[in-house]
Every structure is written in C-alpha cells, then in structure tokens.
Structure 1
Amino acid sequence: MRFGKTLKASIYPPWEGKYIDYAKLKGMLRERELDGDDSDSEPQPWTENDEESFVQELVNVQLDKVNAFQSEMSQQLRDRTNACEAKLMPLARKSSGDDGEIDEKKRKEIAEEAVQELDQITKEVSELEKYSRINFSGFLKAAKKHDRKRGARYRIRPLLQVRLSQLSFNSEDYSPLLHRLSAMYTFTRQILGLELPEGQEASGDGRLGHDSYVSYKFWVHTDNIVEVKTHILRRLPVLLYNPTTSKDLDVSQKDPTITSLYFDNSSFDLYNQKVTRAEGAGSLRLRWSGDLNEAPAIFLEKKVVVSEDRSREVRVQLKGKHVQEFLKGEYKFEKKVHRLEDRAQGESQEAQALKKEVEELQSFIKEHDLQPMLRANYTRTAFQIPGDDRIRISLDTNLALIREDALDPQRPCRDPDDWHRRDIDDLGMQYPFSSINKGEIARFPHALLEIKLRNGARHVEWLHDLMVSHLVKEAPRFSKFVHGVASLFEDHINSLPFWLGELENDIRQDPQTAFQQEQEREAQRAEEDFVVGSFLGAKGSPLQTMMGSPISRMGAGRGSSPGRSTMLSGTPSRVERPSITAKDIPRTTEISKPSPTTEATPSQPAQSQEGAASTSYLGSLFPSFSMSRYAQAHRQRGSKLPPGVSAPEVWIKDAGPVRVESKVWLANQRTFIKWQHVSVLLASLSLALYNAAGINNIVAQALAIVYTFFAVFASVWGWYMYEKRARLIRQRSGKDLDNMFGPLVVCIGLAGALLLNFGFKYKATLDAARGYAYPSSVEMLTNATTDSLFTVQSNV
C-alpha cells in the first residue's frame, strides 16, 4: 500500500486537517512530470524557487503545524487529567480516613463520571501517539521522495532529521500520563466494586515471573566504548563463551561474532506489529555464534508479546542441514522425540513439549508465510558473574544489517530455495562487509548496550550512575530487526521508528549537562509520584501494593526524557532508573551536597527550604548543633543499614597506629597559648579599670568585674578547645577543628568596652569645654581602657 493511502486510512476524524498534507507536497514536487503522466504539457524545469517553496512548506509550514497541534493536544490531555485528579481527590481523602460528607451514592456517581472521562482521555492518548508516528513517517517519506526525484543539487533529509530532533512531537513520552491514568482507573474500580484486570491482583514483584528480566537499552558513542567497558569491568567480569575446560581457560579469545537471521513476509506484518507494539506481536529469528562453516549450534527462536511488559519465547536447536527442511515443515525432530519417549518408556512431558514447540513454530511460519529477510551481524561483549544471572550486561559493536530477502525475483539477495546467503557464509565475510552492495547493507554508527536486571537486583548504585551518565544515550524499545527493516526496506513499509530522526545527531554529552538533566528528571518523577500517591489512601489496596514494589518505584513517571516509556502497570522504561535506597558499604567521609539549582518538590516544600536557609548561618556558628536536613537524617540514621550489612566494629581509616604531624599538634598548642595570652590581657585590663576607678565611680567598677568574667571565659575556653581538638586528632575524626563561638564572645565584649570608653571620653571632653575639672580617676580610666583594648583586640 502506498503511503498516501496509509495516511488516509490512519486519520482520526476529529483531527482531520491537522495531519501532514502529503498530497500537497507530492504536487509541489511535480511527480507526474517526472513519471511522464502529464502528457498535455511539457515538463517544466525545477528551479531554485521551486526548491525553496518545497523546503519552506515541508520544514516550516507542515512541520510547525503538526508540532503545534501535538503540543496543544498533549497539554489539553494533561489538563483534563489534572481535572480528573481534582475531582477524585476528595474521594481519595475519604478513603484514607479523612473527614468528609460524601455519601456512597455520590461517590459512585463521581467515579462513574471520572471513568467516562478517563476512557476518552486514554483513547485520545493512543490516537495522539499514532498521530505522531504516522506524521513522522510522512515527513521522512516526503524528504526521501524529494532527494530521489529532485535531489540532484540539494538533499534535505539530513536537514529534516536535525529539525525533527529539535521538536517534541516525535519524542513525547506519554508514559507518565498513562501511569497517572492507571492509578485513577484502579482507584475508581475500587469505588465501583469492579474487579481488577487479570494480572494486576498480585503485587509488583509477584506480577512478574521468577525468571523475568527488566531490560534497559542504550546507544554508546564509539569514543566512549572503552570507558563504558572499564566502568563495567570494575564490577562484573567478562563472560567467556565456550571455554574448553575449567582448567584450560583461554582468556585471550576474542569476543564472539553473533548472527541473527530475522523472518518476515512480503507485507512486513511482523515489522508493523512490532513498531506499533501490538499485543500478541511475534518475531522469529535464527541465531548462531561464530562462522557458519564451523557448524555452530543454530537456534530458531520465536518471541511473542503477551502483555505490555511480558513476553513468551519458544526455542529449538537445529543443525544447519535441517534448517531448510524444518522451515518447509518436513523435519519434525522425529528421532529426538523417539529417543525421549524410549528414555521415559512411553509418553513423556519433554517429548510432548518438544512436539508442541515444533508444531507451534512451523504453523507460525506457514500461517504468516515467513521467509528470511534481514541479517544482523555484530560482535558481543557480555558481562556477568558466573552462576549469578541477576545482572546481565551485553555490549554489541560493529553492528551490520544486511538484506537477506528474495523479494525481487530478478535480483534476489538470497537464493529463494535456500535459507541464507551463500556469498556471505561460504566466503566467511566479516565486518565491515565491504564487498556487499551499498543498498544491501546498513552499518549502525554506535554500539548497543543492554542491561537486564532480574527481580531482586534493582538497587545497584554503580549501574544507576552508568545509566544516567553522559557516556550512554537511552534507546528504549530499540530493535535491530526494526532498525534494519526501516533502513533497508523503506519503500516497502509505511511506519518508521522514532529513533531514525536521532541518528544524524552527535549523541555525546557534556557531563555537567547530563547531570542537570538527570536532576530535572528526578524532580519530575517526584512530582508524578506525589500525584499518584494521592490515590493510595486505602491501606492494602492492590494499587498501593503495586506502587510499593521496587519495579514501580523505578518506573514511576520519569517523563522528561525523550525516548523512554513507562509501561501502564508501572514497569521501568526510558525515564526510569533504579532508585538508590541504600549503600552497599557504610561511608563516613562522603557528604552529598545539594545542587544550588534544586527546586522545591511536593515532597520537599519551599517552606522547608526557606527554614533550612534561615538556620544555615547559625549552623555554621554552632556546627555541633546543626539543624539541617542532612544533619538530622545523619543523627537519625543510626542502625538503618541495608539487609545483610552490619556496622563495622573498626573502620579501615582507624586501623594501625596514630601518626600525627608535628605541625598539627604544635598548632593546637599555639592556639591554646594565644587564648591564655588573651585571658591575661583581659585580666590586666579589668585590674587597671578597678584600680583607676574611684570609690564613687560605680560604672568603672562594674566594667572591671565584667571584664574579669571575660578573662576567665577566655582561659576556660582555650583549655576546652585544646582538649577537644587533641581528642579529635587522636581519634582521627573527620570533623572540623574550627569553632567561632569563643572569638565571637570576646569580640562582642571588646566592642562593648570600646563603646563605653567612647562615651566616657566624649563626656569628659564636653565637661572640659564647659570649664569643669575632670576627675583624674576618670581620665586615667579612659586612657588605660583605650591602651588595653587595642592590645587585646590585636591578639584576638
């Protein structure tokens, strides 16, 4: 089917007129003149004005129209979702035990109205995602048509791909919105007394099988491959394929070359199902490792998507000589079935299972008329702890996608009577396959990193650091099969994956920029969690149990990162990273400082931030009594350690004898001597004031007594700080040795003395000007005070 007909069939009637005007673009290209259909008039030359008009219409007018409508509808759907949340919020507070006057009948009426609105929102979210995909394909199709028919001087597809990567309509992540809709759906079902759909009764961890994995996919620039490998190698060993024996392990062997041969039919039904993520979509491939001439084990694998987050796989092992017979339905593993039955002395479950798998695979091939279409050849480096499959990481490099079809009977890429290309396998071709024709091969420019986490292996800090770093770029739902078909069979398909628009971009990032983006995603995720958590008031509800699982916490609403998707039931996706909840090893010297650009979130209101800022100055003056959130959490942390981790009796830093540099110890003593010097000066000042004061000069006497207390304080404070700092040095503590409380007290006292001295001096000057005789005692007091204060102040 031509793309124009596909576009017409995909139009959502309420949005008619908002799609790309593909017919107008084809008319501007004057395609009929090139095809010779317009026989009434002679073809007109393609001018600069024609070129400019087409580019303006495609890149500016049509693209801006589609992007503006997508942004407008996306915002409307969010506003409508917010309105639903506001309508259901009183019911959520009522469920959680808050006071309210809403009766049961009114609750159900509100819930029914909300369900109707949620149904409409969910439908339009699905249509908007289809709208984005079909328009994205239309822009690339129009650009390709221009480059093929009018691109002798100018090629606009690279320009268009750069423009597409700057817009949001082809990278909008609807997963956070779906996550909120899912929470409200579950909440309204509880109010209406409806049962949850099958598969949601269990908790988040129980919902997935024991052997289920959550997969994260990334692109890695060639400049960062070595750094990514070394980052992983520090924690996981390289998995060696097929070592000879455990005693004779060849660690110098090269990474294996893996070949996957994907199947599809001439209509590319399996491809279209996979791109649209249709439920029940299946795929089929042959896979082997190494050179086919070495007779490796060949596996025929069928994978069927059961639900949004689960799939089922059927696999049988074949020999090369039996592959073609099996594909035709002539080979059914009769010998192996008989052998299993003889071993069990009759019918056996293994034999029945094998028969069922063979019948399923052969019927699947026959039903869809499948044939080999695409070969993916790549070098794989696998990382895994032997015997522990909780964390599996693979890094694929040198990915080449090669046509393996026989669609063109005149020039087939593969012999229609054979199951693989002989020119590649018989000659043992290797990457970069330079002898393959240009239109038959597509070399992927980046490496592919896939991280698979099994249940129970969610909170791994070093993996989280890698996945949010500048070294990788998220590529959710990336598929070698989909990318190969989209790159090599574009004329046969009408739907393209979104990541095609990002291939022309440089995926390398600045580390600081990557960090800031991750902070923004964390804030957005906290906001989404806060909104969804409002509907979890009823204790023991299935949704609350599901949302409390590690999987849902990792996948809850990381909505600002393009290219990642959160599944409806809360499984991880492109915006989700494992939330680090505990350290593997306790640390005492690392203190994470908040970013100065951190904004208030619902879980951290702006008022608390203002309160923390107001106490920061006092906390600097009195560090032992800090009221910061970190200090409070540190004091309350106590015995909160991860399961299986106990507090060490002796820290590594405390092992061995205490070695203190002489300058450190002498500095502490020198500070103590300085404080005693200040104490002696203050005592001398107080004695001079008391002796100079007359019997009737009560102010001077009181001032002398006050300064006696200051002298005592300076002496005691100096001794206290000396002992405290000596203890911290002996204990090898990481605490700060400075303290401003003592100097602050002394300085305030000296400032007060200076003010009083100024007052006395000023009064004496006025009295002398009026002709009064100034008492000699007061003059001696002011002179002594001035001299002593400057001496003490210089020492402090």
Structure 2
Amino acid sequence: MVAFGEHLKANIAQEYGADAYLDYQGLDNIIQELSRTAPSGPDLQNRMVSLTTPPQTDARGLAVDNNSATEEQFLSKMDFELAKVEKFTLQKVSELRTKIDDTEKAIGTEEKEKLEARADEISNDFLLLEKYVNINFMGFHKILKKHDKNLPSYPCKAFYVSRMHAQAWVRGDYSDLVVHLSHIYSSLRDDQVAEENNDQQSFLRQTTKYWVKTEDVSRVKYYVLRHLPVFLQKTSTGESDSQFTNSVYLDNDQLELYHGRLEKAPGAIALRLRWYGNGDPKQVFVERKTHNDKWTGEVSVKERFVVDESEVYQVLTNTYPIEKKKAEMLAKGKSQKECDEWEQLVREVTQVCVSKQLVPTVRTQCMRTAFQIPFDATVRISLDTNLCMISERGYDLNDMKTWHRNPEWILQPNEITRFPHAVLEIKLELKGGNMTAPKWVSDLQNSGLIYECHKYSKYCHGCAVLLPEDVRSVPYWVDDISLRDSIIASGGGRILMDPAESNPPGANAIYDHLLPFGDANNDRSGTAVGRTHVSAAASKGITKDKATVNNIPTGFDMYDPNAGNIMDTDEEEGCCSWVFPFCSRYNNYAEAIVAPTSFQKIEPKVYFANERTYLHWLHYGVILSSIAAGILSFSDDSGESWGQWYALALLPVSLGFCLYALHIFLWRQDQIKNRIPARWDDPMGPILLGSTVAVILIINFCTQVYEIAKIDFAEDL
C-alpha cells in the first residue's frame, strides 16, 4: 500500500502548487519525532506548577531535551494548515464568482463559442477546487488518525475533526455557482419555455433511479446543467440550486402499504404528505402513487392535491369539506371535469386513510435539485442530497392533529438513518413510442458516475431500517456493502445478511447482482466499481469497453475503474470516501473505461419466449431421433445395410441438439435474470441446426443415388 503522502504529491494541481496543500509530510515528521522521543503524558492530578523546576522526564525516564519536538508544535502546525487551506479555498471561490459575473455580463456581446468555453473553464476550475478540498479533507483525517494511533496519550482527532467541519471550506455551501452557471448555459442554449399544456396526451414515462457517490455530485450537476437548466421552485430564494423537501409517508400498524410497494403488487399505493422549505409546513401536497406493471398495458400513476397545513387533520380523519371546496373551485373558473376528477381523488384518499387506519410512519428529508425546462417534461432530472429517513412512530398523535415530529425534539440513533449516497432520478417522457433517450442522457448513464439501483424507494428503505421488527421482508439493496455502517448505526442490523453465511437466504441470494457496490460476501467496494464493472465482465467475457463521451468538458472526465484503490483499507469517513479515482484534469475529453449501467428491460413474456425457444429446439431434436428410429426399423437385419449406420450416426446428432438446446436455455435464462446488457439471441444456433439438417439430407440423398446407380449398373452387366 503506497503511503498517503506520495499520492498527495501525485495529485497536486500544477495551477495551485504544493504550497497550497496540506503539509502532510511535515506533520508526519513531527509525529515520528514524538513517537521516537516518547514524551510523557501530563500529570492530570497535580494542579500546581513551579517555574524553576525542570520538566519531568519522558516516558523512557530520560531528561527532556529542549530542542526535541513537542505536542504543541504539532497542534500549532495543525492550526496553521487548517487556516491555510480555508484561506486558499475562499480565495478561489471569490475568483470563481468574479469570473461568473464577468461571463454573465458578456452574454450578448461575445461569440457563443467563446462564452461556452469560459463557462466550461469555470466548471473545470470549480471541480478542480472540489478535488483540492477533498484531498486536503482526507489528508487531515489521515494525519489525525495517525497521530492518535502513535500518541494515544494525546488524542486530538475528535476535536480537530469537529473544528474542521465547522470551517467555511468544509461547511460552506457554494451551490449559488451552479445556479449562475445554469443561467449562463441556458442563455447559450437559448432555452425556450414551453407552453403550459394540461391536456392529457398519450405518452410513456420511463423512470430510473441511480445512486451517486458524494464526491461525484458536483460533476453530475455540472454535466446535467450543460443540457438542462436548474429548475427553481417559486418558494426558492434563488441563492441555492437545491430546496429542502420533506415527505411524511402514511401506513398502518401492519405496514400494509410498505409490503404492497415492496412486492410491487398490482394496484399497490403509497400515500405521502409533502412540503417544501425549512420551518413548519404551510402548504401541503397530498400525493398518491399507484403501481401498475408495464407489461399489463397500464402505467403507474402519481396524483396529488394541495391543502393547507390546518386541513391535514381533516384529510386524515375523513372530515375534509369536499363539497365546499369543489364549489369554490367551480366559482374560480375550474372546469367541471377537473373538479370531478379532483373530487374523486380526494374522496378515495380520505376514505382509504380511515378504512386502512393510516398514520404517519416514516419521513424522508433531502435537499432536492431539479433540472428541467419549465413545462417541458421530455427530460426531467432530480438529485437528492443529504438524504435521511426519520421514524414518525413513538409519539402521541393527539387524535391525528399532530402528524409530524416537532423539529425541536431530539432524535435517538434508532429514529434516524442517513443515506450515504445521493439519489439521482431520470424521468423521460417518450412520446409516440419513441424509446430512444437523448444521447447526452445515455452518456450520463454509461459514464460510471451513477449506479442504477432498480426500483429503489426511500420509503421502503426507511421502513426496513427504522422499523426492523415490524417488517416481514426487506428490499434487496439493504445488503449493499456501502449501506452497512449507516444501517447498523441506526439499529437496523437485524435486517442485514450475515457475512458468515456462504449462501445468503431469501431473494437477495438471487438478486445480489443488482447491488451497486456488492454485498458483504462479495465486497466490491474496494475499487468502487460495483455492479457496473461486474455487468461488463459478465457480458460475453468483455471486461473493458472503451468509449469516448463527446461534448464533455475536461473537468467532467469519467471515473476510471483501473485506477484501483489507492487508499488505505481503514478509509476514513467524511465528505469524500473515494478521493483519488479521479482521472487527470488534463486528459482530453474523457476517454475512460466505461461500463454500461443501463439494464435490459425485462417483462414476464421474455421468460416464456425463452422457454418456447427451448421447446422448439427439443422438437427438432425429437424429429431427428424419430427419423433415425424409423430408418432403423425399416432397414435390413443383416447389419450391413447403410441405413443402419446412417441411423446410428443420426441418433447422437439428435441427442447433441437436445443438449445444445438445454445449454442455450440455461445461458439465456442467466442473461435475463442478471439483466446483462448484451445480446441474448443465438446467432450460431439456427445456422448450426440448418447446416446439420442440410448435411444429413445431402448424405442421405447421395447414398440413395449411389445405391440406385449401383443396382442399375449391376443389372446392365
């Protein structure tokens, strides 16, 4: 394992210079000197000192040398390095803001290509600065851990880590840069706001969810905003690219809705109360999501209506004045059809709340960044960061008047779980049967920056982790190795797979290939490649698929799985868990190892088609064997007939067809189950079958012609 200091040197940006970075080696030298001189610990009992008494001997019983290193030197240097990194970071952020202001002022006066190049340069500079922050952040963690390990008498990691998290270079939110860059790119693209259209049209909405590692969040944001603007809600202050989002999910004591959503039962619903912004809710969205399988011809539906916070109690107790509200809507000019649909939805929601005895169960919180051209839903992307789930059980509901926790209440560790990744959701509205996503979306999906988690649900994850004793089954992704620590910290360890078991029980033993970063038995987190790399390796033996992603600025270069894990095995927690797998900033346009993360679409009929193909192959094998049996039965008993040899040769050929059909069936079944993005057809099978049958017929024809010719020749003689 290469030392951290060597990797720090290798990743120093030339623009910044080594002096701008943490002096890791200098701090390490002080630690080594302190370890060698073995200073004694302080006398914690004696509260008096004498200015004329020499210092006490060190841990070896030797006199202390005044020229030797002291703990104070290490602490002073730590303070200096922290201040240096903070000052440099704030200086660079200020320079970036100045560049953005200059670029915004130049819109309309300079050429589009020059402005786009300036915007790309700003994006690259920000990503380079983020990498600088992450490297230094990890360096401080490493050196503090090394200090406490070598000098246990002087522990200081906890103090300095808390202090570091309070400093502006770690705690600061510079997402306003994203907003301004979004405006610049939107102006350069000349985005046109689509007209608001409430008419129902025939379209197919395709939704896919991905996990994004913390250090890749900014790169994903900058890549997306090159194609879509940041969509700010009306309640947003405009100073940030994200908005605080709360969702309280309703369920009963049996977690009926949870299990329905987890099992993806047809017609399974989820009910939630959502509001935006900090503080107490004022306007609440009551949302219902209904699941339907696509292969049935129906689509999942999301419906919602708005109520005031004071009216939530009426919705939960089925006392909401529907008729009165409907009359008010008609008086405001709403159409009769809209009002009737609204009435039906509200009645169904209020009735199900009472009939199923639904109560607040789990709340999800996150900072949501949305990317979309207003009123144009062709491509919508949302990115949820700082995601956590909070239990809404264990407090007095006051007859449903209290429907969410008081924010002033202190949460216990088993009442909150923090999700370690950001969640990216891509929604495509593909009209007219067009199933082709825009190329830039496909490039993002195949970039290695995002990891698909099939059918991921925040609500299901929160219920499984926070209510482990109430759930009968858990989602497959809880066994992902990257979630293990957060689940255990929240007291949900009982739902985890036991690493000691060689054969994990349940569905996860079959669907562990869907885990983005591997499970405890197959830990792929070392290289953080996860399922993406495994999928490529499983596809026809292909382990690497080089692709060049076009139209990506230099700073967006993709993740390189071949970079390997150059961190120590005892990696520290923090704002960056994978620092160095970044490709060089100076690479040309992101030629990297790309492994597809978009999986094949699976429907039940695919399995049936595989079975039918297998039965067709068996049918032809049986036909060949029947032909062979018929030839044997009608051939001479002398044993010298050509027909007997022909039939005996034909029988193993027919058996070979049956075995080959079984092999193809099992191979294709594995391809379908693993959703491997490769060809599932068998291009050689039909050729082999046709060629074999043709050869058999040709041999039989030639043999018969030879026999007839031989008989005619004998008669002529």
The TM-score, its normalising length taken from structure 1, stands at: 0.37
What TM-score do the two structures reach when normalised by structure 2? Answer: 0.41
Greater share of helix: 1
